[in-house]
């Protein structure tokens, strides 16, 4: 079978790992694969905290409710939806476009899109701008076909979570292809883990924690169940 499909079909949420070290090179390959995932407007609105030192790993595992995959993993990756990085990312892409000799038109178009994004994505104090923008978009939607951009802070986190989750899936498939195993986890104390990592409630939301390691021989690989294809596919 195709190698990518092998990794997709072999991947399982592994609940018990062997203590193995993950080299710097392997870590870079895994995180590099994560950031190659598609993201809305290529905004890459995430950060990955790679927790590998024994003391920090133990502290984070405790905040993952002491779950076995967290306690036995070689590393824990905390995937964070990050709204703080948005303007720096747009600046970075603009700089890269200039260095790469993109045409003036393309640069201007990108600048305009980034500016519109900044205005649209600004919830404002107490979400006031979001409420005004929502009313305007609803009125406009009565007249024409339009998409609703993320307006409130909650919308923005939902928006960033989509791109972060795609990066997480890339990360897990890459780890599998490179001979490692993973377990995604949403069982964690979000408030305490955010505090531990020094995250701001305004800009950051933890999407999931991914335990990475080598599957233990004691891991019970139960059969994988999925809903039948006909129950999830709707062909129009
Ligand atoms: C968003 C998300 C959160 C999850 N949280 C946990 C978790 O906290 N602890 C855990 O042991 N597994 C967790 N899992 C793993 C699922 O239980 C697992 O993917 C599912 O049962 C299917 O098994 P498979 O991945 O081996 O096919 C999570 C998976 C996802 C996608």
Radius of gyration of the chain (CA): 20
224 and 234 Cβ atoms separated by less than 8 Å: no
Q: What is the mean pLDDT of residues 169-186?
A: 98
Note the pLDDT of residue 187.
98
**Residue nearest atom 31 in ligand 1 by C-alpha distance:** 184
Predicted local distance difference test score (pLDDT) of residue 235: 96
Distance 34 CA to ligand 1 centre (A): 18
Query: Looking at residue 179, what is its pLDDT?
Result: 97
Mutation choice for ligand 1 from 69, 164, 185, CB with most ligand atoms inside 8 A: 185
Distance 182 CA to ligand 1 centre (A): 10
**Mean of pLDDT over the chain:** 95
**Could you read off the pLDDT of 106-163 as tens digits, one per residue?**
999 999 999 988 888 777 777 788 888 899 999 999 999 999 889 889 999 999 999 9
**Quick check: CB of 173 below 6 Å from ligand 1?**
no
Query: Residue 52: what are its φ and ψ, rounded to 5°?
Result: -130, -20
Task: Please say whether the beta carbons of 183 and 210 come within 8 A.
Answer: yes
Extract the tokens encoding 168. Answer: 């997480």
Binding site membership of 67 for ligand 1 (Cβ less than 6 Å): yes
pTM of the model: 0.95
Check whether 39 has a pLDDT greater than 80: yes
pLDDT at 126: 75
Residue to mutate, 183, 219, 222, 223, ligand 1, most ligand atoms under 8 Å from C-beta: 183
pLDDT score of 38 more than 80: yes
Largest CA-CA distance found in the chain, in angstroms, rounded: 61
183 lines ligand 1 (CB under 6 A): yes
Please report which confidence band the pLDDT of residue 1 belongs to, taking 50, 70 and 90 as the band edges.
low
């Amino acid at each position: 079978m195709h190698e990518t499909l092998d990794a997709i079909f072999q991947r399982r949420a592994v609940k018990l790992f062997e203590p193995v070290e993950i080299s710097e090179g392997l870590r870079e390959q895994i995180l590099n694969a994560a950031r190659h995932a598609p993201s809305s407007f290529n905004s890459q609105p995430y950060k990955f905290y790679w927790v590998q030192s024994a003391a920090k790993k133990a502290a984070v595992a405790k905040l993952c409710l002491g779950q076995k995959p967290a306690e036995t993993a070689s590393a824990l990756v905390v995937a964070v939806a990050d709204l703080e990085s948005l303007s720096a990312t747009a600046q970075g892409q603009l700089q890269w476009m200039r260095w790469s000799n993109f045409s003036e038109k393309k640069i201007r178009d990108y600048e305009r899109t980034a500016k519109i994004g900044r205005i649209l994505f600004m919830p404002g104090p107490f979400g006031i701008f979001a409420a005004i923008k929502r009313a305007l978009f609803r009125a406009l939607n009565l007249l024409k076909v339009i998409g609703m951009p993320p307006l409130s802070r909650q919308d923005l986190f939902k928006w960033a979570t989509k791109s972060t989750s795609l990066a997480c899936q890339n990360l897990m498939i890459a780890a599998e292809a490179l001979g490692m195993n993973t377990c995604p986890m949403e069982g964690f104390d979000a408030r305490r883990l955010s505090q531990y990592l020094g995250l701001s409630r305004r800009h950051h939301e933890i999407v999931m924690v991914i335990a990475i390691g080598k599957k233990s021989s004691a891991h019970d690989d139960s059969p994988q169940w999925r809903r039948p294809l006909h129950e999830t596919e709707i062909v129009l």
